[in-house]
Amino acid sequence: MTSDMIDATGLADLLATRARTGRVIAAIAGAPGSGKSTLAEALVETLNARQPGCAAVLPMDGFHYDDLYLAPAGLRPRKGAPETFDVGGLAHVLKRLRVRDEAFVAVPVFDRSLEIARAGARLIPAEVPIIVAEGNYLLLSRSPWSDLRPLFDVTVMVDVPEAVLRERLTARWQGYGLSEEEIAWKLDGNDLPNGRVIREESAPAEYRILSG
């Protein structure tokens, strides 16, 4: 399968067209620092400007395991790696969103300033026809992540060179006040290795967006 190139405007048009016949759930995946969250938010903003209340974001990061589990399990230094997420919880929420038989579905949102997920932080009403799920591993081909693929109607990979990712992530962690040593660990001990996993082990997306 070869991914078709698309831009943000084309993606907005595609989702709006698909949503005419029912709810559509799109997956936007990419490495840490690829801009997938920014793209998802901008996409939803564009769609809602055209038709208020027609789109909402479902962030994968809301399904981070809490440090109360990660620390005793020895996974805290790897927070953000595939094994540090509640994939089953995400799948359950996606299935609820697909069925569309509840007035709304409450979804968690990750608070990066506190490094915790806030349960029920966002409500997605049944009336919203377009759901934009965004996250690193949404298209990962390894189990249990591969179970998510049938739950998406549209799949998109944000493609960014690793050198650009390094620059963006360095700036991100500097913004959070981390030391050079801490940033070096974040980049080469976690973020960039995770990005390589995404690049090498994700199933082909229908569409690809170049960034950077």
Mean per-residue pLDDT, 95-103? 97
Query: Residues 161-196: pLDDT tens digits?
Result: 999 999 999 998 899 888 999 999 889 988 999 999
Question: CA 184 to CA 161: how far, in whole Å?
Answer: 18
Query: Residues 123-168: pLDDT tens digits?
Result: 999 999 999 999 999 999 999 999 999 999 999 999 999 999 999 9
Per-residue model confidence (pLDDT) at position 178: 87
pLDDT classification of 112: cutoffs 50, 70, 90: confident
Query: Residues 34-74: pLDDT tens digits?
Result: 999 999 999 999 999 999 999 999 999 999 999 999 999 99
Question: CA 48 to CA 181: how far, in whole Å?
Answer: 42
Phi, psi of 110, rounded to the nearest 5 degrees: -80, 130
CB of 143 within 8 A of CB of 128? no
Selected residue with higher pLDDT from 210 and 99: 99
Question: CA 175 to CA 27: how far, in whole Å?
Answer: 28
Question: What is the average pLDDT value for the chain, to the nearest integer?
Answer: 94
Per-residue model confidence (pLDDT) at position 1: 60
pLDDT beyond 90 at 114? no
Per-residue model confidence (pLDDT) at position 149: 97
